[in-house]
């Protein structure tokens, strides 16, 4: 079993050693990267605020508990907070991020639910959003079976995520 | 999305009125803007650090090197683009950039790839086979470095920030594999 705390420092070291060998002006390139990253705030904040609002209201009103409770019949091994995550992951990136933050807040980041939600978040991309954006950009209306295949892949990824979490962290 | 969002909010509000939880809802309305701002800002700042590191990686030619690795594989997956090196390059860049969690940098390149594929498309309003395969690769694509997720976990003071990573990588590989397999099986034409 590799120590996971090694991943990030080792990656940075690898990148910087290669940059050193190739004489990349690393400092100024790094600054450009950070500068471009700041623009992300304007991309993320509006959508995330809208979704956080909806998710918070769903939870505080008690409606979320009722919906999660229905799914509880499927399997009691899976934490009930995970279901909104499973439902939102393929549809909207900011909605699933909002659910993820909600889980971190209520269950804790290192809890079983927190771990499972992290792996689910990392396992797939937002299929519906990407397909809508890419096809509409070139004016395609008949999208073939891309949506079905994307969703099948999502189900596979999320299922695998749940299975692995229960196997490793439970 | 518009309708879903409205339904979510209206249903919660109506439910809260009947449930006697109006005071909690009131708190949400008052604080949600600031609460969201409070964690988005540090989140973006952490992602900025990785953005900087990844720009260095790109400048050092690491992303270009990875693209070369995928090239033959993509030629096999997208047979009608065999002649079009430019579009194939865009596809390779999009997939590689996505791998490193630079989602916002991947989208413009991805849209260029779609334009390129549209030129080879005999029926302009119908998705070509390559487009379907490309989008499957994109949505089910492997993510090796989920920067936002790492930033978020450290913001919540996780004791094991990166513990999920090997498993997440395994899951995304599995999802990609299933996606490609289903696509091959379903859209096999020659």
Put simply, the answer to whether A146 touches B136 (Cβ < 8 Å) is: yes
Q: Measure CB to CB from residue A40 to each of B44, B62, B166 and give the nearest one.
A: B44
* B chain contacts of residue A61, beta-carbon cutoff 8 Å: 12-13, 15-16, 19, 21, 24-25
Helix then strand then coil, % of chain A, to nearest 5: 75, 0, 25
Coil vs helix vs strand at A80: coil
Put simply, the answer to whether B165 touches A122 (Cβ < 8 Å) is: yes
Q: Which residues contact B169 (CB under 8 A, 6 or more apart)?
A: A122, B142, B143, B144
d(CA A43, CA A20): 33
| pLDDT above 90 (res A28) | yes
Q: CB-based contact (8 Å) between A28 and chain B?
A: no
Q: CB-based contact (8 Å) between A149 and chain B?
A: yes
Put simply, the answer to whether A144 touches B126 (Cβ < 8 Å) is: yes
* pLDDT value of residue A1: 47
Instruction: Compute CA distances B133 → A150, B74, B123, B137, B173, whole Å.
Output: 10, 10, 17, 6, 16
ipTM exceeding cut-off 0.85 for this assembly: no
d(CA B174, CA B179): 9
Distance of CA A89 to the CA centre of its chain: 7
Q: Phi and psi for A142 in degrees, rounded to 5?
A: -95, 110
Put simply, the answer to whether A126 touches B139 (Cβ < 8 Å) is: yes
Residue among A57, A111, A43 nearest B40 (CA): A43
| pLDDT above 90 (res A27) | yes
Residue B189: pLDDT band (50, 70, 90) is low
Q: How far is A164 from chain B (nearest CA, A)?
A: 7
| pLDDT above 80 (res A40) | no
d(CA B121, CA B84): 13
Least confident of A58-67, A131-140, B95-104, B147-156: B95-104
Question: Which of A114, A128, A146 to probe the B interface (max B CBs under 10 A)?
Answer: A146
CB B101, CB B146: distance < 8 Å: yes
CB A15, CB B51: distance < 8 Å: no
| pLDDT above 90 (res A31) | yes
Mean pLDDT of chain A: 85
Coil vs helix vs strand at B153: helix
Give the domain ranges of chain A: 1-38, 39-168
Question: Which of B20, B115, B147, B171 to probe the A interface (max A CBs under 10 A)?
Answer: B171
CB B137, CB B129: distance < 8 Å: no
pLDDT one-digit tens code per residue, B126-180: 888 888 888 888 887 778 888 888 888 888 888 888 888 888 888 988 998 999 8
Q: CB-based contact (8 Å) between B167 and chain A?
A: yes
What's the mean pLDDT in B45-57?
A: 85
Residue among B150, B129, B143 nearest B172 (CA): B143
Q: How many angstroms separate the first and last alpha carbons of chain B?
A: 38
What's the mean pLDDT in A77-87?
A: 85
CB B130, CB B120: distance < 8 Å: yes
Q: Measure CB to CB from residue B111 to each of A137, A154, A161 and give the nearest one.
A: A137
pLDDT one-digit tens code per residue, B81-133: 877 878 888 888 888 888 877 666 677 788 888 888 888 888 888 888 888 88
Distance of CA B28 to the CA centre of its chain: 30
Q: Measure CB to CB from residue A19 to each of B4, B44, B56 and give the nearest one.
A: B56
Q: Measure CB to CB from residue A57 to each of B1, B12, B39 and give the nearest one.
A: B12
Q: CB-based contact (8 Å) between B91 and chain A?
A: no
CB B57, CB B162: distance < 8 Å: no
Coil vs helix vs strand at B21: coil
Put simply, the answer to whether A62 touches B15 (Cβ < 8 Å) is: yes
Q: How far is A92 from chain B (nearest CA, A)?
A: 8
| pLDDT above 60 (res B190) | no
Q: CB-based contact (8 Å) between B143 and chain A?
A: yes
Taking CA atoms, what residue in A is nearest to B55? A33
* A chain contacts of residue B171, beta-carbon cutoff 8 Å: 119-120, 122-124, 157-158, 160-161, 164
Residue A168: pLDDT band (50, 70, 90) is confident
């Amino acid at each position: 079993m590799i120590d996971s705390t090694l991943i990030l420092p080792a990656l940075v070291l690898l990148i910087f050693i290669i940059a050193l060998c190739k004489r990349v002006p690393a400092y100024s390139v790094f600054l450009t990267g950070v500068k471009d990253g700041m623009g992300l705030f304007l991309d993320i904040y509006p959508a995330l605020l809208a979704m956080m609002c909806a998710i918070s209201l769903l939870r505080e009103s008690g409606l979320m508990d009722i919906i999660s409770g229905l799914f509880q019949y499927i399997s009691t091994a899976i934490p009930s907070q995970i279901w909104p995550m499973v439902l939102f992951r393929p549809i909207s990136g900011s909605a699933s991020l909002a659910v993820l933050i909600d889980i971190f807040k209520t269950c804790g980041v290192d809890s079983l639910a927190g771990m499972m939600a992290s792996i689910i978040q990392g396992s797939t991309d937002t299929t519906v959003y990407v397909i809508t954006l890419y096809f509409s950009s070139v004016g395609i209306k008949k999208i073939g079976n891309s949506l079905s295949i994307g969703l099948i892949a999502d189900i596979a990824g999320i299922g695998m995520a749940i299975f692995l979490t229960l196997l490793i962290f439970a | 999305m518009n309708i879903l969002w409205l339904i979510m909010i209206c249903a919660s509000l109506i439910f809260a009125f009947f449930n006697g939880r109006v005071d909690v809802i009131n708190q949400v309305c008052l604080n949600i803007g600031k609460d969201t701002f409070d964690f988005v800002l540090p989140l973006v700042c952490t992602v900025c650090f990785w953005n900087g590191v990844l720009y260095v990686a790109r400048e050092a030619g690491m992303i270009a090197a990875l693209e070369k690795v995928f090239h033959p594989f993509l030629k096999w997956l997208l047979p009608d683009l065999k002649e079009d090196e430019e579009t194939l390059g865009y596809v390779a860049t999009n997939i590689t950039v996505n791998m490193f969690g630079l989602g916002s940098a991947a989208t413009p390149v991805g849209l260029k790839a779609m334009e390129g594929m549209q030129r080879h498309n005999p029926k302009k309003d119908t998705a070509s086979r390559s487009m379907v395969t490309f989008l499957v690769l994109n949505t089910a694509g492997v993510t090796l470095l989920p920067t936002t997720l790492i930033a978020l976990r450290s913001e919540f003071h996780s004791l094991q920030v990166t513990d999920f990573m090997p498993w997440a990588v395994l899951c995304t590989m599995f999802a990609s594999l299933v996606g490609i397999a289903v696509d091959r099986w379903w859209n096999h034409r020659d």
